[in-house]
Amino acid sequence: MTILFTLEVIIKIISKGLIFNGPKSYLRKPRNILDLLVVAVSLGSQFISNAEYSFIKVLRIITRLARPLKLLFRDEKLKISISVLFAILPEISRLLAIYSLFCLIFATISVNLLAGRMYYCYSDHLIKAEKIMQQNVLNAEDCFNLGGIW
């Protein structure tokens, strides 16, 4: 795959010129810069494939993930969809912040209201009258005072 992308970049550079051939030069468009970056990192990771360099493995993963991005620049409808998605990211992040705050508030309230309520007082040796009182045990201290296990 890297060979095909490299050939594509070379052919485009030869046909359009690198940067100084006017507005239609190869490096005048962001998608071509992305193509060149993906190919350069792919070739670099091919030539330097030593196990000591762990960042090379990371670069390989990034280039493998960036290759599908090239398809986004080919189709006009996908470009519009992605640009709309990036345009609404600030609004989505604000909604996410409000939702997170909402969850934090209710989590704090539930922790305060239900603190220790999920436990119960257990005791085999309590007599029947004390077992009735066991329903009124609200915390671990009351349970221990009655001889129970919390």
Domain spans in the chain, listed from the N-terminal domain onward = 2-76, 116-150
Per-residue model confidence (pLDDT) at position 81: 83
Q: Which tokens hold the place of 150?
A: 């919390």
The mean pLDDT value for 2-12 works out to 87
Is a pLDDT exceeding 70 seen at residue 18?
Answer: yes
Per-residue model confidence (pLDDT) at position 52: 61
User: Which value, to the nearest 10 degrees, does the dihedral of the CA atoms of residues 59, 65, 67, 73 take?
Assistant: -120
Beta bridge partners of 118: none
Q: What's at 93, amino acid-wise?
A: S
Is residue 32 within 8 Å of 23, Cβ to Cβ? Answer: no
Is residue 34 within 8 Å of 69, Cβ to Cβ? Answer: yes
DSSP 18: S
Closest residue by Cα to residue 73 from 62, 81, 64: 81
Average pLDDT, the chain: 79
Per-residue model confidence (pLDDT) at position 43: 81
Distance CA 64, CA 70 (A): 11
pTM above 0.85, yes or no: no
Cα–Cα–Cα angle for 31, 32, 35, nearest 5°? Answer: 90
Query: Using 50, 70 and 90 to split pLDDT, how confident is the model at 99?
Result: very high
Is a pLDDT exceeding 70 seen at residue 50?
Answer: no
**Taking each helix axis from N to C terminus, what angle separates 54-72 and 30-47, rounded to the nearest 10 degrees?**
150
